[in-house]
Amino acid sequence: MDILKRARELQSEVVADRRYLHQHPELSFDLPETSAYVKKRLREMGYEPQDIGQCGVTALVGGKRPGKCILIRADMDALPMKEESGLPFAAACDDKAHTCGHDTHTAMLLGAAKILKEMEDEIPGTIKLMFQPSEEFGTGAEALYKAGILENPHVDAAFGVHTIAALPCGQVCYAKGPMFASCDSFNITVTGKGGHGSQPNTAIDPVNIAAHSVVNLNTILAREVAPDDFAVMTVGCIQSGTINNIIPSEALIRGTIRSYDPKVRNFMCQRMQEVAKETAATFRAEARNDWFANVPPVYTDDETMEILGEGVKAVLGTEWINDKAAPFTGTEDFGFITGILPSGFFLLGAQPEEGEAMPQHNPKIIFNEDAFPNGVTAYVAGALAWLKAQA
């Protein structure tokens, strides 16, 4: 089968799926309508989809010829924000929107599922489809892993695809090594002693301590992380007090740290806890660190990515390929999978024909649907190339 030609023939179906999903965004693990739609479409193609975890969906194709098993993944959840794209098929609600492109991933994997089902007898092994909830909250991939997505049958390798509106439309990008950064979210609670604003000497001011803490935390990046090691720390929120003449008893500092290197990541986490506690102790206060939604970096396996990339390149042609893509400082919870088994990852450019290409999560972002045939092809060609290489 000419995979690219067939992907182009299915463009209207993929667009229709995408637009339905785009108009009906759902969040986190609460995806009843999205997962029901995915299962309905898979059944129409001849699949027997199964629920996995909370609102996850999986299905198998192939298995008629001996071989290994590769997983191909799409995430399905939206973001809690209002869409301002002006598209005629914009979200039908004001508090949820597909501003990261997960609707495009799901639609393209459905398109790939149809092609794979049509050529099922030719598949040298098994392909497992993974439709994942809660990527935006950094918890969906881990949840499906714990629910058994990598077993029955056992998965030997995996890869995913992510559309990026800022990259040239239809370009398939990848690299060996890091593709997305880790993300560790932190809360630092500084506990002092409340008092009257006219007598600060009788209080232990957590606002003052929080200010010193933020400065000291930034010093870790400036003086303790090597210049050629990527690391970012962002304090996005400081909360304390309710009125101008009362010294509160607590202050909350909230932020994130990101890195491509697990060693740098672990060092940053350790030093932030130490600096926060010691800064608070200097002012006779206490600091408690809480960490949550810890997402590892997406790190591709060299050999796996080489096979996947060459397989897609052979079908699309070199003009559509960028095999030296720069890693993104954003986060993708597929890192839970890449940390467990040999994996790859593709970025798909979806730059709009007109207007400014907005960054991910922008309320005005628009993804160019002309990119979809290349995304569908990346799913199909990558999976088949890897299975053939193992055979």
- What pLDDT, in 10s, does the model give residues 144-171? 999 999 999 999 999 999 999 999 999 9
Q: Which two tokens stand for residue 37?
A: 């739609």
Kindly tell me if the per-residue pLDDT of 141 is higher than 90.
Answer: yes
The predicted pLDDT at position 258 comes to 95
Nearest residue to 137 (alpha-carbon basis) of 310, 287, 336, 4: 336
User: What letter represents residue 6's amino acid?
Assistant: R
Q: 254-294: per-residue pLDDT in tens?
A: 999 999 998 999 999 999 999 999 999 999 999 999 998 78
- Rama region for 109: left / alpha / beta (φ>0; ψ in -120 to 50; rest): alpha
Mean pLDDT on 202-228: 96
Q: Is the pLDDT of residue 26 over 90?
A: yes
Nearest partner of 195 among 252, 254, 253, 243, judged by Cα? 243
Whole-number pLDDT of residue 318: 97
Asked whether 374 and 172 are in contact (CB, 8 A), the reply is yes
Q: Write out pLDDT tens, residues 78-90.
A: 999 999 999 999 9
For residue 238, with 0-12 CB atoms within 10 Å meaning exposed, 13-18 middle and 19 or more buried, which class applies? Answer: middle
Name the amino acid, one letter, at 387.
L
Query: Which residues on adjacent β-strands are paired with residue 173?
Result: 322, 347
Does 23 have pLDDT greater than 90?
yes
Q: Rounded to whole angstroms, what are the CA distances from 30 to 27, 56, 71, 118, 339?
A: 6, 10, 23, 32, 26
Please tell me the CATH code under which domain 183-295 is placed.
3.30.70.360
Please report the pLDDT score of residue 85 as a whole number.
96
pLDDT in tens, 301-343: 999 999 999 999 999 999 999 999 999 999 999 999 999 999 9
Residue 294 has a pLDDT of 86
Residue 351: both structure tokens together: 């730059």
The predicted pLDDT at position 292 comes to 83
What's the mean pLDDT in 135-152? 96
Distance of CA 124 to the CA centre of its chain: 29
Q: Is residue 139 over pLDDT 80?
A: yes
Outline which parts of the chain fall under CATH 3.30.70.360: 183-295
Q: What is the mean pLDDT of the chain?
A: 96
Delimiting residues of CATH 3.40.630.10 domain(s) in the chain: 3-180+297-390
Looking at residue 355, its pLDDT comes to: 86
Q: Given CA atoms 7, 10, 12, 17 in this order, what sign does their dihedral have?
A: negative
pLDDT of residue 113: 98
Region 91-99 average pLDDT: 96
| Cross-strand pairs, 69 | 126
Q: How far apart are CA 104 and CA 270, in angstroms?
A: 38
CATH number of 3-180+297-390: 3.40.630.10
